[in-house]
């Protein structure tokens, strides 16, 4: 069974930074494409970005609102994915989910999320 556990959320001031982590188990992590998806309070789902497996280039794709501010990375030895968030804005507030695709959709399995609040 795939398990994804996010951590690192919290309260941060506008312009600040935060690093989220996603711990994965129950899958061959090195082969997995991993994504971050966020949800603002009371709103819908917004894909943030993804990192491909190293065997498929290890490249990252980002949504336009976060490109240049957020960076996704992975550590295949630790089965971990990270989201470095810089220059945070109030509109970045929300629950951040880690998700992975294992051959069905790109977002087959999801963690429970971690809350990020950007406020002065």
> How far is the C-alpha of 17 from the C-alpha of 83, rounded, in Å?
10
Residue 59: partners with Cβ closer than 8 Å, 6 or more residues away = 51, 52
Residue tagged 């994804």 (tokens): 4
Nearer to another protein, 104 or 120 (CB): 104
Please state the φ and ψ torsions of residue 41, each to the nearest 5 degrees: -55, 125
**Pick from 12, 18, 74, 109: which binds another protein (CB under 8 A)?**
109
For residue 30, the minimal CB distance to another protein (Å) is: 21
Nearer to another protein, 46 or 76 (CB): 46
> How far is the C-alpha of 91 from the C-alpha of 105, rounded, in Å?
27
Nearer to another protein, 15 or 22 (CB): 22
The yes or no reply on residue 111 touching another protein (CB under 8 A) is yes
Contact set with another protein (CB under 8 A): 35, 37, 44-47, 49-50, 61-64, 97, 101, 104-113
């Amino acid at each position: 069974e795939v398990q994804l556990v996010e951590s690192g959320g919290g309260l941060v001031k506008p312009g600040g930074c935060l690093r989220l982590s996603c711990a994965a188990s129950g899958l061959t992590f090195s082969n997995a494409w991993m994504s971050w998806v966020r949800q603002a309070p009371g709103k819908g789902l917004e894909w943030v970005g993804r990192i491909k497996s190293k065997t498929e280039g290890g490249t990252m794709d980002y949504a336009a609102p976060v490109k240049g501010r957020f960076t996704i990375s992975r550590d295949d030895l630790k089965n971990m994915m990270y989201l470095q968030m810089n220059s945070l804005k109030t509109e970045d507030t929300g629950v951040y989910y880690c998700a992975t695709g294992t051959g069905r959709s790109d977002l087959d399995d999801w963690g429970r999320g971690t809350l990020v609040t950007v406020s002065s």
